[in-house]
């Protein structure tokens, strides 16, 4: 039933498919008895098993008493005239009052256009970028088990003002990767009662030297955040042809 409350239900309604759903999403606004059916009256339950039981019983009741009888109720021409009337009402109501224009614009800007640009870039110069990415990934997967974050520290005083500049540093064993082939970030934010960082700020760290097998990374942060603050360090792959920050599915935390 939840599917009808998403964009799939909206597109279905525009094409004469009758929706039967809980009153959620667009269906909470778009529902009327002449274009479909509502399961419940918008109630919310803390107990999901109870909710499933109540809503499934309501759905079966609608199917038995209203939906199936209406569909199979035919006239002399063997057509479900009442059902067809609802189909027409659905097309008229949903098509007039709802649009997927904004959704398509967002999909195009966030996904389709970047994917097309990435595909064109990978094909340039006889797929030079593709070959470079393939070689990088082969090297990355071989080296990643050896990547580790070592010592960390900062020069924060006991009491930090908003204008205080705090230097954060860490030592990272890159397992044979170069500093240019990774992103090292300081992950910093308020600490919850469970000891977890929430609403984090990410600051890119720069390689400033080497110490044995480790590269030393540093960054400057400020005292803008208030309360009890915690921070950690993470390492991510980096290559110009990667589709996204987390595309290889590899993150090494301190």
Per-residue model confidence (pLDDT) at position 72: 97
Q: How many CA atoms lie within 13 A of 244 on its CB side?
A: 8
Model confidence over 44-69: pLDDT tens digits? 888 989 999 999 999 999 999 999 99
Tell me the pLDDT of the chain averaged across its residues.
Answer: 92
Q: How far apart are CA 110 and CA 103, in angstroms?
A: 10
Domains within the chain, CATH numbers bracketed = 2-99 (no CATH), 107-253 (2.60.40)
Residue 152 near residue 164 (C-beta atoms within 8 A): no
pTM comes to 0.65
Q: How far apart are CA 131 and CA 225, in angstroms?
A: 43
Q: How far apart are CA 189 and CA 199, in angstroms?
A: 6
31: burial class by Cβ within 10 Å (0-12, 13-18, 19+)? buried
The parts of the chain modelled with pLDDT lower than 70 are 1-5
Residue 14 near residue 91 (C-beta atoms within 8 A): yes
Within 8 A by CB and 6+ apart from 246, the residues are 236
Q: Containing H/E element for 162?
A: none
Per-residue model confidence (pLDDT) at position 137: 97
Model confidence over 113-146: pLDDT tens digits? 999 999 999 999 999 999 999 999 999 999 999 9
Q: What are phi and psi of 242, to 5 degrees?
A: -65, 140
Residue 38 DSSP one-character state: E
Q: How far apart are CA 97 and CA 236, in angstroms?
A: 45
Residue 254 near residue 186 (C-beta atoms within 8 A): no
Per-residue model confidence (pLDDT) at position 181: 97
- By DSSP bridging, strand 19-22 and strand 36-39 are parallel
């Amino acid at each position: 039933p939840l599917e009808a409350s998403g964009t799939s239900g909206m597109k279905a309604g525009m094409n004469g498919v009758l929706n039967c759903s809980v009153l959620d999403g667009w269906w909470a606004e778009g529902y009327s008895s002449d274009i479909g059916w509502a399961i419940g009256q918008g109630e919310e339950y803390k107990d999901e098993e109870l909710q499933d039981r109540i809503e499934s019983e309501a759905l079966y009741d609608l199917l038995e008493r209203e939906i199936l009888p209406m569909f199979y109720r035919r006239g002399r021409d063997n057509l479900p005239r009442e059902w067809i009337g609802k189909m027409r009402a659905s097309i008229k109501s949903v098509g007039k009052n709802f649009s997927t224009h904004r959704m398509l614009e967002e999909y195009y800007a966030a996904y389709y256009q970047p994917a097309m640009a990435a595909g064109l870039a990978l094909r340039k110069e006889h797929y030079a970028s593709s070959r470079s990415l393939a070689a990088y990934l082969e090297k990355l997967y071989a080296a990643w088990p050896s990547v580790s974050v070592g010592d960390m520290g900062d020069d924060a005083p006991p009491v930090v003002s908003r204008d205080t500049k705090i230097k954060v540093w860490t030592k990272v064993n890159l397992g044979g990767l170069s500093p240019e082939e990774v992103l090292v970030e300081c992950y910093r934010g308020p600490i919850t009662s469970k000891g977890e960082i929430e609403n984090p700020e990410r600051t890119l760290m720069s390689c400033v030297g080497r110490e044995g097998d480790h590269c030393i990374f540093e960054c400057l942060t400020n005292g803008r955040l208030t309360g009890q603050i915690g921070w950690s360090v993470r390492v991510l792959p980096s290559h110009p042809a990667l589709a996204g920050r987390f595309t290889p599915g590899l993150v090494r935390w301190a």
